[in-house]
Structure 1
């Protein structure tokens, strides 16, 4: 009797889906594919593997974006074992990099009105990439399509408008394709849902996620919704080309301002924070390596040494700036760079540097004309011909001896004749407590040198 009751109870739970083993991850890929997206996709895949999910449904609606980001996602999908079915659920556009990600999935399903294709590569100016880059993309699209049993010629035609064809082999049958607009040379291939189904790129037409599950034979499966967390959102924001260029600009701007002033202040702090945000984002997005971090830190250390230790600005400071630029350039290059990525990295660095210089010029112009500047400076020039004197009563101190009451690196404070005076070292670093002699006085500038003790 008991075994009979157990069997009846088990059949009841199975029929109601309580003991259903199917777990499906629903992962959105919307808007621009940037360098922060692969980290989110890889996290979703890792969790799906850990939870022994039956399928991952990628909800795709994108006009594309970074090819290097899409390549990382494509590789992560292809490396999944066959126990997890991957589905590209195209709800809008799967253009450019979105087409590459879709082709990497085990199944492709599309809603009415959706499309896939137009995956040619462009440079940072938005122009068609070089033949070398197009050839690389064509090969990658072809190999991805072949890995999933889809037509390689159609995948190539999405990238290269020089490819023409009249027939397509689908599941062993040769289908007439001359009516496709992208089948003619000079036109990139973009397929509608109906066309994608006809030529074997898509597997089914659906409208909702439950219909996707029904197609997979997983009706009633548990759905786990995945979304970008706050740290991934921050990284995606900071790795945006515009934001990363702005961070580099602020970094250069702050350091260049700091170099022009004694000691350490707000501009240098802003510069270091901006560069830290830039590096942190690239490190999280797995663009940067520890070697590149070391290069950047060496550059920052050289600049700090020039500003705080070595008087003036010379070879050490210039080497620091060059080292920082090298570190930033290497961070802009992805792990699997295309030839165009080197050009994009160069342009990004140039934009940051030029932006910093332009920022210095504009800030100088704006500051001089601001009310604040007018309040702390004279609105006219005091000329000696008009009775003004550059003397402020310190000339009599020339030749006097005193003591440094702060470190002079090269500026600091000294005590001369019981007076606390701001002074600048002649060139040598002067420690607090060292004896000093006043060499010259020019307006507010008091030059001192260290006295050697016998």
Structure 2
């Protein structure tokens, strides 16, 4: 009786075991790699009948794909790759890591060579690593390692192949294999040579073939926090964060004390760096380098008069730290080039943006809303309560470094002043040259 009760309670579990579906669409990045490292073990712990990858990608980061491959090879649950419709470059490595490969009728997989920013072939070191990764992964699942290697390196001299059926054939007879060309297989060819197992058109057809239609289908996707990290570490977004950070620093260096520009810079650079650490792009060493750069910039703003060695060194060190934070520990030439271009574009964008903002901010509706536009003239009875016009020709002392704005003592009053463009050190004797509205223009006194 107890056995019957136990069977009654556990029957739904046996009948509706889990089938997990993961979409691998678009660029393969570090966020996706970390997602696989977390999600695949969790699925194995929960148990289930199958993990199905819906793959449609041109590839991406080699290190991220390697993380995904490792997680798949360790899975105790059956893994199925559904190439729907392309598994190119790093996507092929992930596909080879699955127990079963199913391809859409219009599917392709291969072309896995490592390239740089200009789409030129990367170093032999990178190619050698990728060749062995592809071959060992394919062989771990009973597939032909030589075909996998031919997807990476077109210069390989491979004469014969032993197919999964035990038959031997010449490499020159493999459809799609041409001297000096990378190997890319279409669906029918991949099945013919034992790389793919089936041709199917949809996930529903896969469920039916493996008798999974009565199972509970769970779509597994990155959590909201993982999605945020993936978004913020996207090369375009991370470059934008750097641009905002540099723009804020430029504004901060142009004004005394600490203001909005510095706050915006800290927020943008913190978002950039914290997500890079989570994605394991940045290390503690990178953090130390960036802190040194920011410290030098802080000394330039608050302590050292003028703008000199400390400021230039701070910017250079900060740029180097941000560059390091954008590349993995063992980067490819493509990743190095992307990081260099990202940092340079961000710096140039910040400089151009600051110039345009300074020239046009006075014309914006926002500025008109937050600033006083109307002015009263002396003929209408207005007189300045500070009597600023009378300050022309008077002398005083700079209380802060004027870069070009700052604070000075004039006629016993603490007033905001601005130079004619020069930097004037703290405690320098100054002279008022003109007054424009409430702006007091000064220069270093000549005597």
* Short-chain TM bin: 0.7 to 0.9
Deviation track 1:251-275 (CA, whole Å, cap 9, x = no partner) reads 2232123223333333333332222
Instruction: Give the alignment partner of residue 322 of structure 1, picking from 316, 326, 333.
Output: 316
Q: Normalising by the residue count of structure 1, what TM-score does the alignment of the two structures yield?
A: 0.79
Measure how far apart 1:211 and its partner are.
4.4
Q: 2:30 aligns with which of 9, 24, 35?
A: 35
Match of 2:395 among 389, 395, 398: 398
Following superposition, the deviation at residue 226 of structure 1 comes to: 0.8
1:427 to 418, 425, 428: 425
Are 1:343 and 2:356 counterparts? no
Q: Quote the Cα distance in structure 2 between the aligned partners of 1:343 and 1:109.
A: 35
The corresponding residue for 2:265 is: 271
1:13, distance to aligned residue in structure 2 (A) = 6.8
- Indicate the residue corresponding to 1:408 in structure 2: 400
CA distance in 2 between counterparts of 1:342 and 1:414 reads 48
**In the alignment, which residue of structure 2 is the partner of 1:206?**
200
Q: CA deviation at 1:231?
A: 2.5
Deviation at 1:188, TM superposition (A): 1.9
Choose 172-181 or 119-128, whichever is displaced more. 172-181
Residue in structure 2 matched with residue 384 of structure 1 by the alignment: none
Q: Deviations over 1:145-183 (max 9, x none)?
A: 222221111111212222365642123321455444432
State the distance in 2 between where 1:17 and 1:173 align: 45
Matches within 5 A, 1:223-234: 223-234=217-228
Q: Deviations over 1:301-329 (max 9, x none)?
A: 32123113332212222222122112111
Q: Which among 431, 439, 445 is matched to residue 440 of structure 1?
A: 431
Q: Could you tell which deviates more after superposition, 44-53 or 335-344?
A: 335-344
CA RMSD of aligned residues (A): 3.5
Aligned to 1:196: 190
Equivalent residues in 2 for 1:275-286, closer than 5 Å: 275-286=269-280
SS in 2 for 1:341: helix
Query: Who is 2:144 aligned against?
Result: 151
CA distance in 2, matches of 1:366, 1:122: 42
User: Which residue pairs with 1:24 in the alignment?
Assistant: 19
SS at structure 2 position matched to 1:191: strand
**Residue 52 (structure 1) aligns with:** 47
Structure 1 distance, partners of 2:305, 2:372, is 27
CA apart distance, 1:102: 0.7
Distance 1:88 1:365 in 2: 55
Contact 1:157 1:182 in 2 (8 A): no
With 345-354 and 314-323 compared, the bigger mean Cα shift is at 345-354
- Partner Cα separation in structure 2 for residue 12 and residue 205 of structure 1: 38
Give the TM-score, by structure 2 length. 0.80
Contact 2:162 2:169 in 1 (8 A): yes
1:162-181 maps to which residues of 2 (within 5 A)? 162-163=155-156, 165=158, 167-171=160-164, 172-175=166-169, 178-181=172-175
Does the 8 Å contact 2:56/2:87 carry over to 1? Answer: yes
When residues 258 and 414 of structure 1 are mapped into structure 2, their CA distance, relative to the original with a 3 A threshold, is: closer
Cα distance in structure 2, aligned partners of 1:284 and 1:345: 18
Structure 2: runs of 5 or more not aligned: 374-387, 435-439
| CA distance, structure 2, for counterparts of residue 41 and residue 194 of structure 1 | 29
2:349 matched residue in structure 1: 355
Displacement of 1:426: 5.9
Deviates more, 1:62-71 or 1:25-34: 62-71
Distance 1:349 1:192, change over 3 A: same
Instruction: Tell whether 2:87 aligns with 1:89.
Output: no
Larger CA deviation: 223-232 vs 203-212: 203-212
SS in structure 2 of the partner of residue 201 of structure 1: coil
Q: Which whole-Å CA distance do the structure 2 matches of 1:168 and 1:395 have between them?
A: 92
Q: Which residue of 1 is the match for residue 110 of structure 2? A: 117
Please give the alpha-carbon distance, in whole angstroms, between the structure 1 residues aligned to 2:356 and 2:132: 47
Among 295, 307, 314, the alignment partner of 1:313 is 307
2:279 and 2:210 map into 1 onto residues whose CA distance is 33
The number of residues matched between the two structures is 416
Work out the CA distance in 2 between the residues paired with 1:212 and 1:178.
Answer: 33
SS at 2:20 equivalent: strand
